């Protein structure tokens, strides 16, 4: 069972890190959990004794055979052989009521599809997951993890930061060095925990907010005002920037989430160009 490059497989072998991931999930005996990409079951073996039901989704056919051989007799284990991004989990679980409606996610996911996986788990600004998870614990590339927890006026703060922080509270659990894996990846990794939640004051027009963020970061070297001029005239933008205490020279990464929402709400009263 060698890791396959085309699936972005790296086996996590550090026992302490595995324990930290499980601890971060704060599991309860009644929990139903979703695991994406179980690999050879390093996390699976730790999750099964602690939860009511565990659904693991694995794309690799050979690994699925391995997992069935080793865990198939556990009554609280269910394996779906599929690409998680394409799978309809609710439809699959129609015949398995014990595993329906998992509330927590624990996973070591392929780094090359982190963005799409996050979007499927959380939804988007204008289409949030209608049945959000209680918590999501992921092992991901550190560069991406840094962006999820970034603060304004830092290099890591960007469109991904805003899209995720609009939908969830994000925190770093621990940093994971390359030596914790086989084979060693070329980058550092990090365990992050996301807690999906609605904002106290969400955007009046979430679709507009999503558009503003996309356009506002279209060219990171440009000032935010100049990026948004493709949507609104300066005579509309300038007084709103002044009212919201946003510098006309500010770039997108210098504007925090609440200011972005306020900007969206104000611009919602004006037609786009």
Q: Could you tell me if 34 and 214 are in contact, meaning their C-beta atoms sit under 8 angstroms apart?
A: no
pTM listed for this prediction: 0.94
Residue 25 has pLDDT above 90, yes or no: yes
Residue 244 has pLDDT above 70, yes or no: yes
Lowest mean pLDDT among 6-10, 71-75, 165-169, 179-183: 6-10
Does the bond joining 191 to the residue before it have cis omega, within 30 degrees of 0?
no
Strand 135-141 to strand 189-196: parallel, antiparallel, or no bridges (unpaired)? antiparallel
Mean pLDDT of 146-155: 97
Separation CA 167–CA 183 (nearest Å): 34
Residues 6+ apart with CB under 8 A from 16: none
Residue 268 has pLDDT above 70, yes or no: yes
Separation CA 150–CA 114 (nearest Å): 17
């Amino acid at each position: 069972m060698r890791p396959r490059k085309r699936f972005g497989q790296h086996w996590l072998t550090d026992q302490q890190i595995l324990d930290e991931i499980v601890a971060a999930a704060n599991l309860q005996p009644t929990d139903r959990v979703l695991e994406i990409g179980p690999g050879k079951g390093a996390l699976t073996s730790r999750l099964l004794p602690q939860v009511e039901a565990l659904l693991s989704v694995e794309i690799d056919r050979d690994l699925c055979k391995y997992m069935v051989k080793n865990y198939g007799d556990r009554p609280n284990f269910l394996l779906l052989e599929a690409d998680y991004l394409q799978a309809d989990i609710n439809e699959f679980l129609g015949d398995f009521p014990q595993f329906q409606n998992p509330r927590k996610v624990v996973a070591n996911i392929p780094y090359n599809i982190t963005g799409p996986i996050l979007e499927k788990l959380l939804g988007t600004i204008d289409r949030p997951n209608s049945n959000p998870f209680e918590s999501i614990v992921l092992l991901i590339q550190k560069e991406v993890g840094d962006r999820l927890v970034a603060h304004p006026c830092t290099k890591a703060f960007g469109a991904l930061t805003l899209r995720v922080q609009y939908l969830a509270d994000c925190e770093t659990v621990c940093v994971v060095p390359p030596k914790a894996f086989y084979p060693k990846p070329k980058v550092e990794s990090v365990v992050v925990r996301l807690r999906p939640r609605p904002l106290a004051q969400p955007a009046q027009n979430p679709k507009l907010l999503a558009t503003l963020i996309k356009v506002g970061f279209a060219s990171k070297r440009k000032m935010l005002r100049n990026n948004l001029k493709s949507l609104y005239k300066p005579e509309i933008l300038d007084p709103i920037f002044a009212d919201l205490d946003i510098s006309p020279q500010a770039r997108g990464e210098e504007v925090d989430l609440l200011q972005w929402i306020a900007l969206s709400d104000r611009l919602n009263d004006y037609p786009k160009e």
